[in-house]
Structure 1
Amino acid sequence: MKIDIQPLDNSYSDQLIDMILNIQQKEFNVPITIEDQPDLKQIESFYTEAGGNFWGAFIDGQLVGSIALVKFDERAGAVRKMFVKKEFRGKELNIAQELLEVLILFCRENGIDAIYLGTVNILKAAIRFYERNHFVQVEKENLSVRFPLMNADNVFYSLIINQTV
């Protein structure tokens, strides 16, 4: 199975909303709606024009995963919307890993030295994935005041990409 990762624009909003809400609401029972996530209808203005990006992973033209970067500071970004459809998860396809590597490469090429993320403590597999990828847990109080908090998040991580002298 060939995985094709490409930047997304507003034309993918409906596919993204469908995939993400399914995972959030049906699989993990997270009480979140599209109204809580207006960024999914404004990919270009919210992510791309602000210096970040949004990527989708496709298999045979079907959207099976996503990851996004919100640039919230001169040299810092927040990882958002990291989702892979249940039937495409796992080490065989390694979609989450490939998505994260695309995001990290983008950060290196665009002078973003550190990335941060928030997640929910019930998402054990996600937490293990971030920790395997050298993310370090951060206390909420130690996040930048500019970090875009999501109400549901209760565990936070950071990853230093480029060590600045």
Structure 2
Amino acid sequence: MEYEARKAPMTFRGSMLSTVRDHREQIAKFQNELSISSFSKLKEDKSSSSLDLPSETDDPIRRQILMGAASLDRTTQMVLSSTQVALETEAVGEEIINDLGSQRETLQRTRTRLAETEADLSRSRRILRRIYLGVIQNKICLIFLIIIQIVIIIFILYWKFLRKS
């Protein structure tokens, strides 16, 4: 059940793990009650089967054993709880590491695309610069041609009007 809870999606994982933890606590509680009742049953059986009166030294020892068993059960529960918390923390850490890995891959792809885009932009700048220089060259040629045409028109007018006089 715990294995299935760990493999469940994050939205259900927390509730499933807490349910598993609750079941474990109930099992430990029942085991503790069972051990206490078995000690009590053993004590009753011994006292009813023996003809002697129970010795007073056995009773404190039994109490101490029961207290030790209860303490052991509580310690076991604490260890199980700590183990569960550690497993949950490990699962969260693993998920974070996976997320960071995918984010790293995304960043690397983005960096590669950015470098490609930068190379494309520098090629585009060079092409635009060549086009700009070609436009300036064409303007200079047009201005030169216009000046030549104006000079020719002036020369023709001069030739036509001033030559007759």
**TM tier, shorter chain?**
under 0.3
The structure whose residues are more often strand, as a share, is 1
Structure number with bigger Rg = 2
- TM-score of the two chains, using structure 1 as the length reference: 0.22
TM-score between the two structures when normalised by the length of structure 2: 0.22
